[in-house]
Chain A
Amino acid sequence: MVEAIDQVFVNLKHAVVGWAPPAWQAWVSAGLTVAALMGVFMSLFALVVLLERKGLGRIQNRPGPNRVGPWGLLQPMADFIKMLTKEDVVPAGADRVVHFLAPVAMVAPVLLAYAVLPVGRNMAAVDLDAGVLYFFAVGACIELSVFMAGWAGRNKFALLGAMRAIAQMISYELPLMLAAVPAVMLAGTLSLGGIVEAQAVPAGGWLARWHVLTPWGLAGLALFTIAALAEANRSPFDLPEGESEIVAGHLVEYSGFKYALFFIGEYLGMFAVSGLGITLFLGGWRSPASFLDWVPSYLWFFAKLGGFVALFIWLRGTLPRVRGDQLMALAWKLLVPMALLNIAVAAGWHYSAGWSFAGAWLARWGLGLGILGLGYGALARGLYESQGFGPRVYRFAD
């Protein structure tokens, strides 16, 4: 029974594919997978946009949207109709082809990234051997689209925003990948399915071996989340869009459905990178303990995804936007060294697995957390004192 509920979508797909003529089966299978992924994540997008607005409202002691439908539930529909009916303005000086292609180049790679994401047991569209590599390769295409958007509009604000975005995304690509390296190293595979497998409940135990339950996994998840925030252009790293200084950055010359596509791409990218974080550190679709295995795997995945998204919304409601130099300093002076240190700690964790003296468990944890803590203390203190993260010093006034 549990098995049937867990595999209901997989079995449904197999039934439909089996019913199709043999020559079409591959196409039907692919089409069904793509349709399911698109449908689920697009609905999630609509829901998240609404919940984000309501959540931010509550954080600011406002009720949030509550006019369209009961509790404002139809608000995404109203937004969508508004976006569709808006005029699509292309500036006179724009590079029309690039201007048209940029939103497509935003959404397409993001959707491609979902191909390797295991959203449940046997529920990855393709389980590539180099899934992590593929994910990052596809994710890097978003930078191209942002720069296309900034360039095509022939607008200085758009160009400035695009240049900020490029600098930010390339800088944060590095800590994002370096944070993912330990998980790949210790699982011994680049396949996302294999990484999930490596976090399974060990034989005879009851607690899953989620990577986050290790010192390097904890630090890795934190680093990954910060870098993912920056990759997704989310607050507090939303400099490329900086409404207050450069209008909307690369989006300034976009309206109507093209703008909506950027918006969709941004949110789908956020879900995708959160999904990768879940797969790498939080056990993917696996339950935390064997006695919770009766909950379907896809529910675990989406619950974790919901947690990630809630954290992102919470951070957006809390933190002000960082300055450009602070952004760069954070990446290069804190995240990258910490990620490198984390790889060393992960290696130490791997080679200390054989320790068998009394209190070995405590020693491994203490050592790992100690090294990471000391590294963080030193690096963060340096950042705090050199880069103006601390209290503001007024040189001319005072």
Chain B
Amino acid sequence: MSRGVRLVGLGIVKGLIETARNFIGSYRDPRRLVTVEYPEVRLPPVERARTFPMLVYDGADPEAGLRCVACKICEKECPPQCIYIEADRDARGRVLKRPRVFDVDCSVCMGCQICAEVCPFDAIKMNTEYELAVADRFGGLLLRKSQLVRSTEYHRTVHPQEAVEIDAQVAQARARAEAKARAGGGG
């Protein structure tokens, strides 16, 4: 057993000095206060944060620029089945490559990110908005397409690294498709 302690009770005094140093230090140096006073002060966005899904669109128009082609892979893969998609149809009833209805029930969604991982078109990504409280817990938590769409700029603000990579890929694929179309048109 160690004989280090000469005077019993000295540890209490040491502890008291430590807490007094904290007490006085927190007034002298505000950097000691680790509390983020939430509504006024917010933490900087975190790259890997996620809450619920969002639909990314290119350009300025959410309808025209929507990357989603209504392939319904996410709907099928969603473990709690919180996604509901209906493909749009033209006047003759042919299926178009865009969704007419895209709903996410975020009272059911568990934020697993599987939809975002399986999407071949990088159309569905995870949002980081967390102030989602609503007064109506049934209708209010069912997010419609119009509430889900977010621009690529927004995507870049919430997931900077991921968005830059994906935007590059999307641009590359589009360039390839255009080149192919030109080549096809020329031949």
Contact = CB atoms under 8 A, between A and B. Distances in A.
Given A314-B20, A317-B19, A61 B1 contact: no
A389 B33 CA distance: 33
Q: What size tier do the contact residues of chain B reach? A: 20 to 34
Given A55-B23, A390-B1, A384 B35 contact: no
B22 A60 contact: yes
B1 A391 contact: yes
A55 B26 CA distance: 10
A28 interface: no
B9 A62 contact: no
A390 B18 CA distance: 20
A217 B167 CA distance: 78
Interface string B1-43: 1100101110010011011101101110000111101000000
Contact of B2 (A61, A62, A317, A391): A391
A63 B34 CA distance: 9
Contacts of B25: 61
Contacts of B16: 314-315, 318
Per DSSP, chain A at the interface is helix
Interface residues of A, number: 22
B166 to A, nearest CB: 40
A384 B5 contact: yes
Interface string A381-393: 1011100011101
Given A63-B33, A63-B35, A314-B16, A390 B23 contact: no
Nearest to B29: A61
Select the residue from B2, B27, B33 with max chain A CB neighbours within 10 A.
B33
A331 B61 CA distance: 77
A219 to B, nearest CB: 13
Contacts of A74: none
A62 B34 contact: yes
Given A58-B26, A62-B34, A62-B35, A314 B9 contact: no
A318 B34 contact: no
B145 to A, nearest CB: 38
A384 B18 CA distance: 22
A318 B12 contact: yes
A319 B15 CA distance: 7
Contacts of B23: 55, 58-59, 314, 317
A4 B74 CA distance: 84
A380 interface: yes
A61 B26 contact: yes
A61 B34 contact: yes
A377 B9 CA distance: 10
Interface in A305-323: 314-315, 317-319
Contact of A61 (B5, B9, B15, B22): B22
A391 B8 CA distance: 12
Contacts of B2: 391
Given A58-B26, A384-B5, A318 B32 contact: no
A383 B8 CA distance: 9
Given A59-B22, A59-B23, A314-B20, A393 B35 contact: no
Interface string B28-62: 00001111010000000000000000000000000
Interface of A: 55, 58-63, 314-315, 317-319, 377, 380-381, 383-385, 389-391, 393
Interface of B: 1-2, 5, 7-9, 12, 15-16, 18-20, 22-23, 25-27, 32-35, 37
